[in-house]
Amino acid sequence: MEWNVRKPSLQCCSCGAKLEGMEFHSSLRDNGIEFDRLDFCLQCWDKVPREDFFSHWKTKRVKEEKQKARPRYVDQETMLDIFRKLAGGGSQGKEAFTFLLGMVLVQKRALRYVRSETREAGEFVVLAHARSGENFDILNPSLSEEDMNRAKENFDAILDTQGE
């Protein structure tokens, strides 16, 4: 199935329906290098093979001027679910994404910072789930500032975690 991944505005990647102010489904597809975020209207989502996606969630986005009252685009549980999958072995090639997601979850107090460790494979950050204490070892990608900014832009475009 071919979908329009790069879209000029918020619209269904299958039928092109405008999604602003509507309920819709967002999904992450692993393209082998990074994630593509694909948004689907409710009708199209019913026809989509879910197993193609790394993660998906239902959401709603309101117009810019109502942004203050907007619900979280990606809720914390979904972010934790994505983080768990990545930390559990799915992060190959997505170290920057995993690291950034970990940092966002620390900011949200869903995870807490435990310690940093230098190992043979590099610098690791150990994070713990705030409630269960479950530990996650995340590779610090040690990117240059420029590369980190690029990774952050990509991350924000995919998960749209700003303004929460």
Distances from the Cα of 140 to the Cα of 38, 63, 79, 107, 144, angstroms = 27, 36, 19, 17, 12
Distances from the Cα of 152 to the Cα of 55, 127, 160, angstroms = 19, 19, 11
- Of the pair 17, 143, the CB lying nearest Zn ion is at 17
CB of 4 to Zn ion, least distance (A): 11
- Write the DSSP symbol of residue 61: -
Distances from the Cα of 95 to the Cα of 5, 19, 43, 72, 115, angstroms = 22, 31, 34, 24, 18
Helix 95-107 with 76-85: angle, nearest 10 deg: 140
CB of 15 to Zn ion, least distance (A): 3
- Of the pair 45, 83, the CB lying nearest Zn ion is at 45
CB 28 within 8 Å of CB 82: yes
- Of the pair 50, 119, the CB lying nearest Zn ion is at 50
- Write the DSSP symbol of residue 84: H
Judged by the rule CB under 5 A, the positions of this chain that interact with Zn ion are: 12, 14-15, 17, 41, 44
CB of 1 to Zn ion, least distance (A): 12
- Of the pair 12, 111, the CB lying nearest Zn ion is at 12
CB of 104 to Zn ion, least distance (A): 29
- Of the pair 43, 135, the CB lying nearest Zn ion is at 43
CB of 56 to Zn ion, least distance (A): 14
CB 35 within 8 Å of CB 54: yes
